[in-house]
Amino acid sequence: MSQTPEPSAASLNTEQVAHLQSWINKTETQHDLVARTAVTGLSATLDRDDAPAQDGDSLPPLWHWMNFLPMARQSLLGPDGHPARGGFLPPVPLPRRMWAGGRLQWQADNPLRIGECVERVSRIASVDHKVGRSGELLFVLVQHSYRNARGLALTEEHDIVYRAAAQPSDPVPQPTAAETQAAWKREINADPVMLFRYSALTFNGHRIHYDRSYVTQEEGYPGLIVHGPLIATLLVDLLRRNAPDAVLTDFSFKAIRPTFDLHPFTVLGQPQDDGKTIKLWAHDHEGWLTMQATAKIR
C-alpha cells in the first residue's frame, strides 16, 4: 500500500480520511505459540492461586491477548511508546488512542490450549471519521479469527478509537452512575506495579500506563490509566471465581470512562434469570460506571 505524509493532527479533511479508509479490507496473518510462562505470569498478576500451567491446559478467556503482540524495534516507537503509525493499522495522526471495546465468541468445543501454535487472521473492517461534542474521532474496527490445528477456536471484533489531544476548552463528559446491586463484587487495587506487570506481559509500551509525568503533562489525565483489556480480563476473572464450572461462549464489553491508579476500583457481576447471561461492570471509587460487559455461558 502506498504511503503518504501523515496529515496534520489539527483536523482531517475529506482527502485525508479517504486515504485512511484505503486500509479497509487490508489483512494480516500471524502465527504464535501460547506460552506457559506468560500464562503463569498473568495468573500471578491477577492474584490467582491456580496451580502452575501445563501444556495442554485450556487457555482462560481473554488471556490470548498476551499473544500476537506488536514488537517494533525501539527506534520505530512513537513518542507515546506505541509503534509508529502505519503498517497494518492506518496511520491515524490523532494523538490519543483507546481500546474502546470488543466482542468475542469462542468455539466451546475447541479452546485454545497452552503450548500449541495458533494462527490469527486480522482484517480492517471499517474506518469511520466523526466530529462530535468531544472533538474529532476516528473509529477503526478490526476483526480477528484464531485457528489451531483443530480449526476455528475464536473470533473477535476489536474497536479502536483515535482522538485529538485534550484541550482546556473540551466539554467535560457527564459520568454515568453504576448499579450497586450485584451478586458478585471484588475491589481491585490497580497500583503502578500491577499496571507495569500487565504492560510487560502484553509488551505494551504505551506510556499512559507507567509514565506519570507523560500521562499528566502530555495527555492531560490525572493519573496512570488502567488498561481497558486488563479491566475486561478482571471482569471475566470475576466470573471465573464465582462460576468456576461455567464455559464462556460470548463476551462483549465497552469502555465508558477511564480508570486511574489513584484509587481502588470495583468489578461486579449479576447473573440473569435465564441462567446463561451475566451482566458485568466496573465502577470507580466514586461509583461512576467505567466499563460494562455481557457474558454468555453454558
SS (H, E, C) 17-41: HHHHHCCCCCEEEEEEECCHHHHHH
Contact 129, 138 (CB under 8 A): yes
Mean pLDDT of 248-274: 97
Residue 39 has pLDDT above 70, yes or no: yes
For 174-297, CATH number out of 3.40.109.10, 3.40.190.10, 3.40.50.10860, 3.10.129.10 equals 3.10.129.10
Mean pLDDT of 112-131: 97
The span from the CA of 93 to the CA of 75, in Å, is 19
The span from the CA of 44 to the CA of 197, in Å, is 10
At 158, is the pLDDT very low, low, confident or very high (cuts 50, 70, 90)? Answer: very high
pLDDT of residue 114: 97
Contact 224, 215 (CB under 8 A): yes
Task: Decide whether 14-166 matches 174-297 in CATH topology.
Answer: yes
pLDDT of residue 6: 39
Cβ neighbors of 273 (< 8 A, separation 6 or more) are none
Task: Kindly write down the DSSP assignment for every residue of the chain, as one continuous string.
Answer: ----PPPPTT---HHHHHHHHTTTT-EEEEEEE--HHHHHHHHHHTT--PPPP-TTSBPPTTGGGGSS-----GGGB-TTSSBPS-TTS-----SEEEEEEEEEEE-TTS--BTT-EEEEEEEEEEEEEEEETTEEEEEEEEEEEEEETTEEEEEEEEEEEEEPPP-TTSPPPPP-BPP---SEEEEE---HHHHHHHHHHTT---GGGT-HHHHHHTS--SSPBPPHHHHHHHHHHHHHHH-TT--EEEEEEEE-S--BTTS-EEEEEEE-TTSSEEEEEEE-TT-BEEEEEEEEE-
Please state the pTM of the whole predicted model: 0.92
Residue 169 has pLDDT above 60, yes or no: no
What proportion of the chain, given as a percentage, has pLDDT over 70? 94
Residue 63 has pLDDT above 80, yes or no: yes
At 3, is the pLDDT very low, low, confident or very high (cuts 50, 70, 90)? Answer: very low
Angle between helices 36-45 and 192-201 (to 10 degrees): 160
| Side-chain-facing half-sphere of 69: CA atoms under 13 Å | 21
Where do the domains of the chain lie? 14-166, 174-297
Look at residues 224, 204, 226 and name the one whose alpha carbon lies nearest to residue 83: 204
Q: What pLDDT digit, counting tens, does each position of 27-36 carry?
A: 999 999 999 9
14-166: CATH class: alpha beta
